[in-house]
Amino acid sequence: MTTETTQGRVETCRSLIARLARFAGRTLRGEWHAIVVEPVQRLARRGLSGLLLAFVAAFGVIFFQGIAQHPLGRLWVTRLGGVKADLPLWLSLLRTPVSLYVPALDLPVWAGITQLFLAFAWAELTLGRARTLAISYITTLAGTLTARLMIAMGPGWGGLGLPPAAAHVLDTGPSAAVVGLFTYLAVIKRAPVVFTLTGGSMVVESIAIPNLAGREHVIAVGSALVLGLLHGRRAWLRARVRSLFPTGRRAPVTAPTAPAATPPGSAPSAPSAPSAPAPPAPAQSRTVPAPARADRRGDAAMTSAER
């Protein structure tokens, strides 16, 4: 191997490493600006009112955790927000919004408070309150409904099904909403580091520990990924829906009217020109004709002579 060949390979490796370093630097700088700089600027403009959902979510979890420490309080917490797959579907849907604030009783609550606060704070400052609530509820509901489907399938099905015993496991906690919010924000803000730390870690956890919570986390990541890819394509979605389900009515087509038939032996009449507007009638003159004026003068002269 010649010296020139070795130097050429070394230069190629150096240029490749330099390109990767520049790409990593641009990615990290853009992600830092999207994750930290922009939310902090919005927080400085809006004040603490921009963190309302984050405070409500954090204090809601702490409140329900404190109540659940007593037997009677745990009973009421389960009745209000306890979701299981063996419950009727309408009751699970009714309890799902409250279940976001009910922590899992077998997991330490204080470990997830920081993640919960950061997820809702970042989402509220970036997306607004309405969209934050919508994304968190959709991802949680998607995990809950998919878990019921997996339990109904039963064990097998290539590892997708779950045993019937999973239907009695309490399915509560804001973890699915937190993972969904982080994934959605990472997709729309193009933050691969955040996506790897949140969505990637949930996938690895589901593979390592194949339980009900891990399956729901993966479903939450998938649903948030789809929603993130559809972000900003509302007009395209409306056009697709309208093309699939046309709802407009077409105006009835009127047939052209045929001209009136002319009697036999008569020449066809020429098309009549548009009638011009009639001129205004002349104002009536109040002048008296000349003979009448002469008669009046004669009458006046006779009257003066008689006098």
Q: What is the structure's pLDDT at 234?
A: 65
> 28-74, pLDDT tens digit by residue?
787 888 888 888 888 898 888 889 999 998 898 888 888 888 888 88
Q: What is the structure's pLDDT at 295?
A: 46
Angle of the 52-67 helix axis to the 110-127 helix axis, nearest 10:
150
How far from 29 is each of 24, 32, 33, 181, 190, CA to CA, in Å? Answer: 8, 5, 6, 21, 12
Tokens found for residue 14? 């150096």
d(CA 80, CA 77): 5
Angle of the 129-153 helix axis to the 52-67 helix axis, nearest 10:
50
d(CA 68, CA 254): 73
Tokens found for residue 307? 């006098």
Query: What's the pTM value of the predicted model, to 2 decimals?
Result: 0.70
CB atoms within 10 A of CB 143: 27
Nearest to 140 by CA among 157, 162, 116, 159: 116
d(CA 1, CA 222): 51
Position 96, amino acid: T
Torsion of CA 107, 111, 117, 120, to 10 degrees: -50
The answer for residues whose C-beta is within 8 angstroms of residue 302's C-beta and 6 or more apart is none
Q: What is the structure's pLDDT at 133?
A: 92
Q: What is the structure's pLDDT at 46?
A: 87
Residue pair 135/184 in contact by the 8 Å Cβ criterion: yes
The answer for residues whose C-beta is within 8 angstroms of residue 153's C-beta and 6 or more apart is 160, 161, 162
CATH class in words for 52-236: mainly alpha
Q: What is the structure's pLDDT at 238?
A: 66
Residue segments in the chain with a per-residue pLDDT below the cut of 70: 1-2, 4, 105-111, 157-159, 232-238, 240-241, 245-307
Position 67, amino acid: I
Burial of 53 (0-12, 13-18, 19+ CB in 10 A): buried
Helix (H) or strand (E) holding 197: none
